[in-house]
Amino acid sequence: MHFRGKMRIVSKPRIDPVRWQPPPVEPLPDVPSPDVTIVPLPGKGPEDVVADAAGHILAGLEDGCIVRISPDGGEPVVVADTGGRPLGLHVGRDGRVLICDSYKGLLALDADSGALDVLADSVAGRPLMFCSNVTETSDSTIYFTESTRDFRFEHYTAAVIEARGRGGLFELGADGTVTQLLDGLYFANGVTPTADESALVFAETQARRLSKYWLSGPQAGSVTPLASHLPGMPDNISTGADGRIWVAMVAEVNTALEWLVPRAPVLRKLAWRLPERLQPQIKPEVWAVAFDPDSGHVVAGLRTKHPDFGVVTGVVESAGRLWLGTINYPAVAYVDVAATSV
């Protein structure tokens, strides 16, 4: 890899796929199709969205910039540049914005001054390759995911085509020590605590499931399912005001890819060498679903299409609006939370 200005020129890596049986597909209840409002940004790919204490919306763009948007959806302002590729975000208890950056690791940003601190850039002596999403509990413990230890964000499709469980869930201690809580996850992605902080809910995009990692009680340290066999790929997640778990659904099941993964790995090696336009493509939708944190039942959501937005990868409730991020468009979007009830 080398850099030309701020553009990354990245050679395509080799992949080492294995046979893998994808989970079955079970439908979800129908959800509303509310009106979607688009807020243009000065760059593409606001992969995640979060809200600060004042109601500002923050997102990270593919060129490394972190932007802040006023609560009324006004003109966005660039507040920092990580120099990498910011992905999942979380507003910490001290007001700093925690940032997962695929190239820089886990960062903390003072959005007023633009000061950036590196909290963790390695695990067990190796660099963090794909720091994906981050959250913090009330005792100031930080948890984060790594989608895969083998590839950077630019080649996220390589991890999916390989179908190897190389993702993990981690805890960052007060002394800066990183502890791995879970390994073998199939593209670990969003993570958020339940409202009572008894557990973390985390998403595995390729496995198409949500699970709970218990932090307290008799199940502490164990994992239990929350919602499995999803008909789409869950991405970043957040906890709503009423405790429901909002999930950005980046795309429906890719039938071509799921046909390939149980078959001879050489077929996926050949597919990986094809030009990108000939590889399985994502169909853009505006899709997010809220799940009950105990039963896993769908309690709210939206699913629609918009010519200027789709491929939802981030979601957060703020002041009566549900804000949405994306990896494919130069904008964020929002809908009326009340219009998402089922």
What pLDDT, in 10s, does the model give residues 146-167?
999 999 999 999 999 999 999 9
pLDDT at site 10: 59
pLDDT at 6 over 90: no
Residue 323, CB-side half-sphere exposure with 13 Å CA sphere: 28
pLDDT at site 1: 37
Query: What string of DSSP letters covers 111-134?
Result: TTTTEEEEEESEETTEE-S-EEEE
Of 54, 82, 236, 136, the residue nearest 67 (C-alpha): 82
Percent of the chain past pLDDT 90, that is, above it, reads: 88
Order of strands, sheet of 37-40, starting from the edge strand that comes earlier in the sequence: 37-40, 331-336, 321-326, 312-318
* Average pLDDT, integer, range 204-221: 98
d(CA 70, CA 319): 12
* Average pLDDT, integer, range 124-133: 95
The answer to whether the Cα torsion of 215, 221, 226, 232 is positive or negative is positive
Enter the pTM of the model.
0.94
pLDDT at 179 over 50: yes
CA distances from 71 to 94, 149, 284 (A): 20, 36, 26
Do the beta carbons of residue 253 and residue 208 sit within 8 Å? yes
Do the beta carbons of residue 203 and residue 210 sit within 8 Å? yes
* Average pLDDT, integer, range 190-198: 98
